[in-house]
Amino acid sequence: MAVVTFVSASGSPGVTATTLALATVWPRPVLLVEADPTGGSGLLAGWWKGSRNHPGLVDLVTAHRDGLLAETLPQLALPIENSMASVLVGSRSHEQAAGLARLWEPLADVVNEMSAGGQDILIDAGRLGLDGWPEPLVRGADLTVLLTHTTLPALAAAMSWAGALAEDILPGHDVRVMLVGSGRPYGSAEVSHTLGLRVVGEISWDPRRAAVFSDGAPYPAMSGWRRLVNRKDGAERGFLGSRYLRSVRAAGEAVRAVLGAPGRVDSGEVRVGQAGRLADD
């Protein structure tokens, strides 16, 4: 089992939505930790559309102070219906987020203990370098995935952080890139060459379907003849079989393949042509 952190360098490539999407299709029990330091839980406001008021990271501060961090964390995990995933939701405001910095180090120890005990952990660590960003969680992970769009501004920011992660912040750490919208305009080979990092997967560009995870949006209606043929539950079936969700599944498979590769920091490689690129619908 493993701990994987997902981060971004700039902009909003969809770290929270992508990490949530990966968790919902993960083939074994997985805990998603929302550790984005910006505050205002994107999962409670987006996926659950403000319908939940669940305790999360902030409540762990008190638990840690009482020496009960490891025992309390599983109790605060919120199950995601129809999946093998659960979520430890993040802070609800920037005021709460500011107080979490002292939690990251002990939380990193706990999630690594959980991983050693057979639990996969996916961590939404948000944007790199922000005040209070969860560096101990990133440093302690088995793999860090840098999400990025493929525009020149996005790649310029990613290039700066790619070098810093490899040389200064996380020397010897396994860092890969995941593209959101490959070919808009640059592809995996160009991005890998530019950043000096291997590409572990590509998430298809599909804002309507990504909004299911980012905003709690309904499944997009199918169009044309497919809508006529598949009237009953057609939108759900169309979503589950969409190129977008297939790309999410393929990206998850690629991440797990990297984690299972012996000596992966030096020689582990997943070819995106095999794991991340998919045929059109």
Domain ranges of the chain: 3-275
Residues 14-23 have pLDDT tens digits of 999 999 999 9
Determine the Cα–Cα distance for residues 174 and 3; give it in Å rounded to an integer. 12
Burial (CB < 10 A; 0-12, 13-18, 19+), residue 101, is middle
pLDDT (0 to 100) of residue 32: 97
Residues 166-206 have pLDDT tens digits of 666 666 678 999 999 999 999 999 999 999 999 999 999 99
Residues 21-34 have pLDDT tens digits of 999 999 999 999 99
Q: Which two tokens mark 31?
A: 């805990």
CATH of segment(s) 3-275: 3.40.50.300
Give residue 275's pLDDT band: very low, low, confident or very high (50, 70, 90). Answer: very low
First to last CA, the chain: 33
Name the pTM for this structure.
0.87
Listed ranges 88-97, 144-153, 258-267; the one with the highest mean pLDDT: 144-153
pLDDT (0 to 100) of residue 226: 52
In this prediction, what percent of the chain has a pLDDT beyond 70?
83
Classified as helix, coil or strand, 239 is helix
pLDDT: is 105 or 130 the higher one?
A: 105
Q: Edge-to-edge strands of the sheet including 85-88?
A: 78-79, 85-88, 30-34, 120-127, 3-8, 143-148, 175-180, 199-203
Q: Which two tokens mark 169?
A: 């912040």
Long-range contacts from 80-84, C-beta under 8 angstroms, 24+ separation: 80/20, 80/23, 80/24, 80/32, 82/24, 83/23, 83/24, 83/25, 83/26, 84/26, 84/27, 84/28, 84/29, 84/30
Give residue 235's pLDDT band: very low, low, confident or very high (50, 70, 90). Answer: confident
Please state which of the ranges 43-52, 75-84, 113-122, 244-253 shows the lowest mean pLDDT.
Answer: 43-52
pLDDT: is 222 or 240 the higher one?
A: 240
pLDDT (0 to 100) of residue 20: 95
Please state which of the ranges 51-55, 177-181, 206-210 shows the lowest mean pLDDT.
Answer: 51-55
Q: Given phi > 0 = left and psi -120 to 50 = alpha, else beta, which region is 263? A: left
Unique residue bearing structure tokens 């797990």: 256
